[in-house]
Structure 1
Amino acid sequence: MDCRHGRALFTTSKHHWDNPLELLVWDPMKRDQQRVPSPLQYFRDGFNAAVLCATQGCDHRRCQGGPFRIAILFTEEIQEVTKACLYSSETGAWSQFTHLHHPDTYDDYENFPSLLVDDALYFSITHSTMSQPGTIIKYQLLGTPCLSALQKPSMSKGRLMTTEDGGLGFADMDGTSLTLWARKTDHEVGWSKLRVIDLKILLPVDAFSVKSCFHPPPAAFVSGFAEGTQVIFVSSSIHLYMLELKSGRVKKMPGYSLKIFPYMTVYMPAKESASTHQGGNESVLECAEL
């Protein structure tokens, strides 16, 4: 369901309506697992969840083992209401539901990762009419939790991402072109187009020429984004590539996946290695490959 701050979040329920939903928080570095009962009374397809560190003032470089929070978001399609609530590992309890009424939505979250920007989580859902861009739900966590909705910048499903300056962004594909968007400031409503990247220039020659049982072959699409970085994952036919947006460097990844959940952790190098850095006290960031 999600990966953030050194933890991964899973759902453990089988796909049966009479089974209660259960969540599992896994800390791979500490080899620790914690099961969390869900506030939902039964399993449902139309929901998403996020995990995040709850330690005050944490820089999230070494937050394994501390308190955490889980957010659950789902839509009651008939009532046209989206609901969300928060779990605290410190209290072991869920908060009251926060509600947002917005019509013409379909509870299709696709279980792609949420995005954390400042003190808010963002989730992507799809409109039922498919005649207009889908909706991004903002779950404000600071102070009294509240929900609000904003429209996606394009008809493409796309993926949420952070911009280079840490703001809310969006990435979508049109054929072999990758378009990057940035949400304007609170004083300016809407989105601004940052860049359009021709992937035929960056990806290998055979990236879009793989034989497929589909006629024509399926277009490339964004399958994941590493939060807090400028690393994006693009799938093309049966290949998966990791693209560093700032440098333009591309790496072909092993295997193939429609959904990527990057897991990142930070370690401190040994003294003899650290001494080669300026001041000898820099940390090194490692991103685990899936």
Structure 2
Amino acid sequence: MPLDLVRYVFGGAVVCAAGDDQGHVHGDCHSSPFKVVLVGTREHHPAIAWVYSSETGMWSNLVLTMEPCDGLIDVHFPCTLVDNVLYWWLYGHDNGILEFDLHTQTLAVTEGPSRADTNSINSRIIRGEDGGVGVAVFSYLSLKLWKRKVSSQGIHTWVLQQIVVFHKIIDLTHQIKTRKEAIVGYSEDAGADLISVPCCLGIRTGKEAIVGYSEDAHALFIKVSCCSGPHTFIVELESMQSRKINQSFLENSYHPFTNFFTAGTVRALSTVPVTEPPVYRSSR
């Protein structure tokens, strides 16, 4: 790696390159050509990006933001694809979002909704109800859904679309079985057992997190910590129905996995030699 890029924080995404009639590039055809988008951020420097095409085996020319970027992408959380645009949260920036337009091959930093009560753990960029970009914020009491509106002049504004009370999404008393009851003693005088029963089933404040988002299913993976331990749920945003995942892990990032099988003979994709991305030298 060139020395000028060592201080950059990089992230990337792989997207389907076969567009449909609406120009959507993330299709269901698993044998289609693909693109790899590589983005890099460094404080007080322009964000940079390249695009690799499996059809040509070539990297695009360097793409930069117009202005220096004040934040860094969070490599622990994947980007979100909405229509033809990839979005990353920027940490170190109050509410910045880095977005790369696959159609126009442009890179820009825009403002997100107020993040006074959010952080990279309890928020996630999602698809909005009208097909635009949105943001979900999960807290102890509620799930807030924001959507971005764009005026005819191209001005972006964020609107709080919906607030859903948490216990209307997930009823912990029915979905979590603690099995923590225990006999902890016996009183000879009273002739009675002393039984310990958990005193709480609610969320421990500050322990809730959004740990994943499925663009295709439009569903969030959320994790809560209760007296019985961590529990992970899938929340479908269209219906606001939830179901509990049988196993919960301590990791802060879940990646939805989809399997597919195509009957018949699969034609192998033609391959071309892979080239290195062009060298970028930043000004000091």
TM-score (norm: length of structure 2): 0.68
Tell me how far apart the structure 2 counterparts of residues 185 and 166 of structure 1 sit (CA, whole Å): 12
Match of 1:273 in 2: none
SS in 1 for 2:156: coil
Asked if the contact 2:15/2:26 (under 8 Å) is kept, the reply is no
Match of 1:240 in 2: 232
Shift of 1:98: 0.8
Question: Which of 234, 248, 272 pairs up with 1:255?
Answer: 248
RMSD value over aligned CA atoms?
3.1
Match of 2:161 in 1: 194
Question: Which of 48, 58, 67 pairs up with 1:93?
Answer: 58
Q: Which amino acid aligns with 2:40?
A: F
Instruction: Tell me whether 1:135 sits opposite 2:96 in the alignment.
Output: yes
Tell me how far apart the structure 1 counterparts of residues 3 and 16 of structure 2 sit (CA, whole Å): 22
Instruction: Tell me whether 1:47 sits opposite 2:10 in the alignment.
Output: yes
Shift of 1:195: 0.7
| Residues 10-62 of structure 1: CA deviation (Å, up to 9, x unaligned) | xxxxxxxxxx6xxxxxxxxxxxxxxxxxx999777822111101124388554
Distance 1:56 1:152, change over 3 A: closer
SS in 1 for 2:167: helix
Q: Which has the higher contact order (CA 8 A, sep 6+)?
A: 2
Q: Which amino acid aligns with 1:251?
A: R
Q: Which amino acid aligns with 2:79?
A: S
Asked if the contact 1:61/1:265 (under 8 Å) is kept, the reply is no
SS in 2 for 1:228: coil
Distance 1:234 1:267, change over 3 A: same
SS in 1 for 2:109: strand
Q: Which amino acid aligns with 1:248?
A: M
Shift of 1:258: 1.3
Q: When the two structures are aligned, how many residues end up with a matched partner?
A: 223
Distance 1:151 1:190, change over 3 A: same
Asked if the contact 2:141/2:166 (under 8 Å) is kept, the reply is yes
Asked if the contact 2:47/2:69 (under 8 Å) is kept, the reply is no
| Residues 208-257 of structure 1: CA deviation (Å, up to 9, x unaligned) | 95699xxx653312222111333111111211110112222111112234
Shift of 1:112: 1.5
SS in 2 for 1:124: strand
SS in 2 for 1:184: strand
- Mark the structure with the bigger radius of gyration: 2
Asked if the contact 1:47/1:111 (under 8 Å) is kept, the reply is no
Instruction: Tell me whether 1:176 sits opposite 2:136 in the alignment.
Output: no
SS in 1 for 2:216: coil
Tell me how far apart the structure 1 counterparts of residues 3 and 215 of structure 2 sit (CA, whole Å): 27
Q: Which amino acid aligns with 1:147?
A: L
